Structure 1
């Protein structure tokens, strides 16, 4: 029998989603986010970069504000009002203490019980190589969950008034080939399509297909692929690390 996925934990109120670029969350977990915000949960987005190197035909200084606007509209489509950017340089985000410190600071500010990030491994299911930015941010987020609760790792954060927060109970990784948990995608699916479609400038460069058809086909494919392992329901999947 195919091993079934567990439902995501529900005994939490605040989540912080940390990814490298605009559109990272929309390709993987916007339907889950829509469902969570419907339930009154607070979700904040933190992006390490503004995605300024993502469109070959638009110079970074023009691209950054455009992609930021699209990301804010995308977040609003699934009920997320708070979107923050760290301004690490797109394409060359480095794993290390500076990135861990920035993420730990955000964890201390927002005090989430649930952290969300994107695939931190070298490949996408052993088929395609993952990008350095995804690997760096995903790994740093997993590490920062512990950093945020230890006052001696980044003591300067305490001096800035950011007291330790050891309340992160889970880190949920989207886009993994080793999922353990899932969320029913049906209630938030249409809003997830609108959320991805908000990145229209990027999508129009990425594909010649009609943008809405592209978004709908991609998201339907990923959520329906998980249905066999989630009671026949289309689902957003996560690999959950408990703390």
Structure 2
């Protein structure tokens, strides 16, 4: 693809990032988030699981709390202090009304203008198959952005004090094989590397490569992937869905 990417909108103040697992945001998106928090924008994280099934050599009862701790430290590196977990089962998230309701409730609580998630498509491009958790959460996020504003969907939320929020203006999908927009991230690359490195226990179980080298290589690859389509600047691409 040779089409140039458009710049992401900047006329917003609050964002909510919703992903399946600890570390999902750190594989690139955190570089954009670092820049946004520098601009004094509010960014909150919502993790659908605690990533308890992500470390083959560690029992889920131990892995879940550890990965939650690493996620909170990782978020702090890029200026995010609001980090919530829903405790859906890692690896077995079910798309459906229950998930949509949980996400709509979170959107009503946080009242974001921008909602972030990661790739909901079947693949990452080509034949690199995406995981069921990513697909389920990404699609539920796109639906919940509308559910949050409809008083007749999940009316029990309003009865419980969560008034409808129809203020979501965009859902931005990171890691999509079909990016439409991008954010320049030259100022956030080093913090993105350090943010990913906070997931040290997970990374050490994932690869035999030295963690610092692994994180730097991955983030530099991610921030250069779409640069030719964005003025040859380090950037993070998003597939943007206006609402």
TM-score scaled by length of structure 2: 0.99
Q: Which residue of 2 aligns with 1:121?
A: 121
Secondary structure of the equivalent of 2:138?
Answer: helix
Partners of 1:163 and 1:236 lie apart in 2 by 33
Give the whole-Å Cα distance in 1 for the aligned partners of 2:112 and 2:28.
20
- 3-state SS, counterpart of residue 236 of structure 1: strand
SS in 2 for 1:56: coil
Mapping of residues 42-81 of structure 1, within 5 Å? 42-81=42-81
Tell me the equivalent position of 2:102.
102
Which residue number corresponds to residue 179 of structure 2? 179
Deviation string 1:154-202 (CA, Å, 9 cap, x unpaired) is 0000011000000000000000110000011201000000000000000
What do you get for the CA RMSD once the two structures are aligned? 0.8
Q: How far 1:127 sits from its partner (Å)?
A: 2.3
Number of residues of Structure 1 aligned to a counterpart in Structure 2: 243
Per the TM alignment, residue 7 of structure 1 is displaced from its structure 2 partner at its CA by 0.6
Shift of 1:120: 0.4
Cα offsets for 1:78-123 (capped at 9, x unmatched): 0000000000000000000000000000000000000000100111
Partner of 1:225: 225
- Contact 2:51 2:90 (8 Å CA) reproduced: yes
DSSP-derived class of the 1:15 partner: strand
TM-score under structure 1 length normalisation? 0.99
Partner of 2:83: 83
**Structure 1 residue 126: deviation in Å?**
2.2
- Look up the match of 2:163: 163
| Runs of 4+ with deviation above 6 angstroms | none
In structure 2, the residue matched to 1:149 is 149
- 1:196 equivalent to 2:201? Answer no
Unmatched 5+ residue regions in structure 2? none
1:206 corresponds in structure 2 to: 206
* C-alpha displacement of 1:222: 1.4
Unaligned runs of 5+ in 1: none
Say yes or no: does 1:11 pair with 2:2: no
Q: 2:152 & 2:222 partners in 1: Cα distance?
A: 41
Q: Give the deviation of 1:69 after TM superposition.
A: 0.2
1:226 deviates by 1.2
Alpha-carbon distance in 1 for matches of 2:227, 2:117: 22
Aligned to 2:41: 41
Query: For each residue in 1:21-76, what CA deviation from the matched residue of structure 2 results, as whole angstroms up to 9, or x when unmatched?
Result: 00000013000000000000000000000000000111010011000000000000
State the distance in 1 between where 2:6 and 2:113 align: 18
Give the corresponding residue for 2:24: 24
Deviation at 1:224? 1.0
